[in-house]
A and B are shown apart, each in its own frame.
Chain A
Amino acid sequence: GDSVTQMEGPVTLSEEAFLTINCTYTATGYPSLFWYVQYPGEGLQLLLKATKADDKGSNKGFEATYRKETTSFHLEKGSVQVSDSAVYFCALLGNTGGFKTIFGAGTRLFVKA
């Protein structure tokens, strides 16, 4: 079945450092891919999305590119802030059989001032 694997955390960075959180997926067909963010004590919020190969999703300085050849959707940000500290979830929405959103385990990010 469909699955999402993302790098284990926690990831600890200093303010203004470059961020990469790796995400790879397994799916039949052509899924849509998402990054969600969860701040402490809250639900998840959609951060960005991409619906087809080579699409780049971007929002609030975060970017991720849908790479079908490597089945990847890595999250990047050029300069992180303390306020980016949160848990980041990679997810896919398949378009064959089930049509359910599948989430990775989440990666916790700590940004130090």
Chain B
Amino acid sequence: DGGITQSPKYLFRKEGQNVTLSCEQNLNHDAMYWYRQDPGQGLRLIYYSQIVNDFQKGDIAEGYSVSREKKESFPLTVTSAQKNPTAFYLCASSPDFGNSPLHFGNGTRLTVT
């Protein structure tokens, strides 16, 4: 079955360490996205990529970085510069950018202590 795989489901890190969250899709979608979800808030866009080798900052990109070297993969690195990294991170994809609903993975819960 086609879908989006995020791994791991739970991730624990010490403050000051960088950590990379994995996102892989086999839907053959061009566009991919990273959202952050905090309790009681909607989803906030971190980064998005319309096509391979291209990505743009979303609304809360500070302290995060991404790469899009392959169509199916869009890893997110949470750097030590991110002031409040503990959150639920959701990866999504869509067939094209700006014209389709989103397909989501099951998320990674990151806890930084």
- A interface, CB within 8 angstroms of B: 4, 32, 34, 36, 41-46, 49, 89, 93, 95, 99-101, 103-106
Task: Using A49-B101, A99-B99 as known contacts, list a sample of 5 further A-B pairs with CB atoms less than 8 Å apart, ordered by residue number in A.
Answer: A36-B104, A41-B106, A43-B107, A93-B99, A103-B43
A residues near B103, Cβ cutoff 8 Å? 46
Minimum CB distance partner of B40 in chain A: A105
- Which chain B positions have C-beta within 8 A of A45? 104
Contact status A4-B106, CB under 8 Å: no
Known interface pairs A104-B42, A105-B41, A105-B42; A44-B99 also in contact (CB < 8 Å) = no
Interface residues on B, range: 20 to 34
Measured CA separation A6–B101 after assembly (Å): 19
The answer to whether A93 and B106 touch across the interface, beta carbons within 8 angstroms, is: no
Contacts of A4 in B (CB 8 A): 42
- Asked whether A44 lies within 8 Å of B102 as measured between CB atoms, the reply is yes
Instruction: State the CA gap A101–B104 with chains docked (Å).
Output: 13
Chain B's nearest CB lies how many Å from the CB of A4? 7
- Assess whether B101 is in contact with A34, with CB atoms less than 8 Å apart: yes
Bound complex: CA of A45 vs CA of B107, how far in Å? 12
Q: Do A42 and B42 touch across chains, with their CB atoms under 8 A apart?
A: no
